[in-house]
Amino acid sequence: MATWLITGCSTGLGRALAHAVLAHGHNAVVTARDVASVEDIAADHPDTALAVPLDVTDRTQIASAVEQAKARFGGIDVLVNNAGYGYRAAVEEAGDADIRRLFDTNVFGTVDMIKAVLPDMRAQRSGSIVNISSIGARIKAAGSGYYSASKAAVEGLSGSLHKELQPLGINVTVVEPGAFRTDFAGRSLTQSAKPIEDYAETAGKRRKENDTMDGTQPGDPAKAAEAIIAIAESPEPPALLVLGKDAFGAFAAVAEYERTDLDAWRDLSLSTDL
């Protein structure tokens, strides 16, 4: 039995993962900004679940959540940084406050959660950190520049962290989901307040009022949850896991495009050495 701390459990993947972890017989600290939204999960598993309020932009709440997890279950074996949200805007359209709020949640919230659990994981020379990213970090769609950048930052951080922690017995995995049947493209999605007409045919097509994806996504959150549990329980978990046929196909297409571009400009690239 392992103890998991999962951020962002009120809906979507986080909620599905909380249910799956508990069904597998593990302990779970289930968190949300509004703790009332996850108290039903804890009520169904009174011996193995703990509902805790957690806004990942609040370091006091982060410290409290970790301490409550340790007091109840003795420690944290698996941290899943799932809390986050989408933001759509052309790069020029985005409001400064919106950008900072997005990065405070998606990037610095992840950083602060990691730093809160690492001292104990290092002491016990074991643990697993799963950072939920997005295929958006790779495909960089028009209108998702800031969201893609926030997830790319998480991936860059995670890659270095993986190399730093692997010798200490701690694993780090980035999960890149495609489109899953959650409210990510619905209630949770935010966007710039003032669209610019010149971007109507690029970023504008992905604004909420023009997007028909919500409710039609191909991915099953319950199956994604099982996949995340599988990597956490694996003796040799991957550094990167892509989830969904759409994400797998997009990943392959981007890799092929980048290789073609690399080869096309090979001579110029190699011409700059002394």
| 199 annotated active-site | no
d(CA 223, CA 31): 21
Q: Reduce the DSSP state of residue 203 to 3 states and report it.
A: helix
| 87 annotated active-site | no
> Considering 10, 147, 148, 158, which one is annotated as catalytic?
147
Long-range contacts, 67-71 (Cβ 8 Å, 24+): 68/29, 69/3, 69/5, 69/29, 70/120
Helix 109-124 with 59-73: angle, nearest 10 deg:
30
Amino acid at 144: S
d(CA 269, CA 66): 48
> Considering 128, 150, 151, 199, which one is annotated as catalytic?
151
Q: Which two tokens stand for residue 28?
A: 């779970």
> Considering 10, 87, 128, 133, which one is annotated as catalytic?
133
| 192 annotated active-site | no
What is the SS3 string spanning 140-197?
CCCCEHHHHHHHHHHHHHHHHHHHHHHHHCEEEEEEEECCECCCCCCCCCEECCCCCH
* Residues with catalytic function: 133, 147, 151
